[in-house]
């Protein structure tokens, strides 16, 4: 199955509380320092700055992404795709949704942090026009890895 065929079955929609358990399941698989269930509940239901989206395949959450929009700046908080669904264009669909949302809300600049060693994520962000503009030394407490600070300017 090629990338275009794989993404035809994917629907990207705004996340709701009903998606939290599946989001947390993916979060726990994908990250060594996962966010808690309560953190996602707060992001989706209480944080007025947050916009979260899920990628659905046959009504099952296979990926998610979040952004905080404050004034004219957007901060991508997280993006993850279940390992069984990677390399099918889902992360790109989620990124496109975040960027479209940011643009529609008047964002001038987008930023994010990414592990220096996460080549797949860096490649994805560069594909969408993000560039490394800084480093946070020892940012990740699990192993002291540096974070690259990437920006996209509209």
Which is it for strands 109-115 and 73-81: parallel, antiparallel or unpaired?
parallel
- The helix/strand/coil state of 128 is coil
Asked if residue 45 lies in contact with residue 52, where contact means CB atoms within 8 angstroms, the answer is no
Q: Which of 52, 64, 85, 125 is catalytic?
A: 125
Residue 125 appears among annotated catalytic residues: yes
Residue 113 appears among annotated catalytic residues: yes
Q: Which of 113, 139, 140, 145 is catalytic?
A: 113
Active site amino acids: 113, 125
């Amino acid at each position: 199955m090629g990338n275009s065929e794989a993404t035809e079955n994917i629907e990207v929609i705004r996340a709701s509380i009903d998606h939290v358990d599946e989001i947390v399941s993916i979060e726990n698989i994908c990250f060594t320092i996962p966010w808690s269930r309560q953190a996602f509940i707060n992001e989706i239901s209480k944080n007025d700055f947050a916009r979260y989206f899920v990628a659905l395949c046959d009504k099952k959450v296979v990926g998610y992404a979040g952004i905080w929009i404050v004034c004219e700046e957007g901060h991508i908080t997280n993006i993850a795709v279940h390992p069984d669904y990677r390399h099918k264009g889902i992360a790109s669909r989620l990124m496109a949704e975040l960027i479209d949302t940011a643009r529609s809300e008047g964002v001038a600049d987008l930023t994010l942090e990414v592990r220096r060693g996460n080549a797949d994520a860096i490649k994805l962000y560069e594909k969408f026009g993000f560039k490394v503009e800084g480093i946070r030394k020892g940012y990740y407490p699990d192993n002291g890895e540096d974070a690259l600070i990437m920006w996209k300017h509209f």
